[in-house]
Structure 1
Amino acid sequence: MPRIRLDTDGPVVTVRLDHPPMNAFDTAQRRELAAAVRELADDGEVRAVVLYGGERLFAAGADVGALAAMGPEEVRGWNRALQRTFDEVARLPVPVVAALTGYALGGGLELALAADYRVAAEDAQLGQPEVLLGIIPGSGGTQRLTRLIGPSRAKNLLMTGRRVDAAEALCLGLVDEVVPANEVYDTALRYARKLAEGPSAALEAIKEAVDHGADSGLSAGLALERSLFTGVFGTADAGTGIRSFLEHGPGKARFDGRARDN
């Protein structure tokens, strides 16, 4: 049975983790996710993506039983592949929204960290519990978590392995919105649809400027921003937006939704 499902709703595609009971990442699910993400990256009709694990939970991490059977060399290759897959999620050229229900732990949280926006259920539990197994996160947890909530807070979660509830996650900046559990997916989908109506080239440029600029010095980040600004300025959507502003005022532009150039 497939462990990853793609559900299309116009320009928005939901990547559904479907590996019960806990959506634990094993090699098969990782490969399916990688294939799905590459398909989405090459599909010019896709304008936003939602990551979803279902009504019960998002994902409870890696398949610990499978990891226990690996030696250091094998686990290094397995981890490298999972890290690469989550990085491909982060580098999708469209907005990515994570809809978090139940547990988002270990590799599950690392996948959520690769999204641009996170909606959590009121009863959600998030954490990086790897230290409790005597190991560390290996698929972005030490890096994306630190960049998102800061070194001190990240070290607290990483070193204790403790879980945080949705309210604390919101205070930490780990999630962006908290809603009742039965509203998580609809809220994420609604936000993704709103972003999908925006100018695709500008949204892609914003992701690139923020993500890559954060990993460089200010001067390099400003140079990247300048280059991206110049490139976006020449797009049809920029012409539409500027013309609409001059004729009708701010916030009334309707972008054409054309496919991205492949």
Structure 2
Amino acid sequence: MLSASAKLERDVMTYPIQWIPREWNWVDNFQKVWMENVPFSLFYWNSFKLAVVSTIATLLFSSMAAFAFSKLRAPGKGVMFGLMMSFMIIPEQATLVPRFIMIKWLGLYNSHEGLMLMLAFSMYFTFLMRQFMMGVHNDFIEVAKIDGAGYLRVYAQIMLPLCKPILATAGIIKFIWTWNDYQNPLIFLFTKELFPLPLGIQFFRQEYSNNVSLMMMAAVSAIIPLLIVFVVLQKQVINGITVGGVKG
């Protein structure tokens, strides 16, 4: 993909393959992808907006739910958690019709707000964070309560700093899932100006179906943010993989 994105179109299909192009055409391919007929930069911005907002919302809401399920006492908490987990066996495709009806009823069809609303919470990440928080010693919370901290302060100043590894891991996965999501935008968006990259590349393919080098340049451009997110957050995952304990 990297090699083909930097080649002239006539050199893409040469055999044997030339891993290093004899004639570099990277700049010209880049300009055609980003600055000509297809609004690639708009697709890029749409994907970035959806991925960032959905990731932040998921980390916030799922971590709050995980904190409640793992550390707070409430009647019926176990039943509620089991019920929520049972919903994970339902395929996402089975909920497309009711979600479509609901989003249409709310007046959010063909809008980024509708997609963000559906992607703002995740049972899967709530489960992962809850399991991680179960391993955090309760003495941290008890000491904070003795100092007069309420539940919100315990969550924000005690639990979240201790949960950086799972937050970073969930953030990476959620960002990648949202960035690569094709199904939801396909169903809930129909205006070209609102398309994220997966739909944008499909639209790009219709315009340049015979130009492999441009298709490869578009694909390279699409994966760059995923690499950046992983490189930036992997340190948190590796260095914070263990949580400090309390000495008896």
TM bracket (short chain): under 0.3
| Structure with greater Cα Rg | 2
Determine which structure has greater relative contact order: mean sequence separation of CA pairs < 8 Å that are 6+ residues apart, divided by chain length: 2
For normalisation by structure 2, the TM-score amounts to: 0.22
As a proportion of its length, which structure holds more helix? 2
As a proportion of its length, which structure holds more strand? 1
For normalisation by structure 1, the TM-score amounts to: 0.21
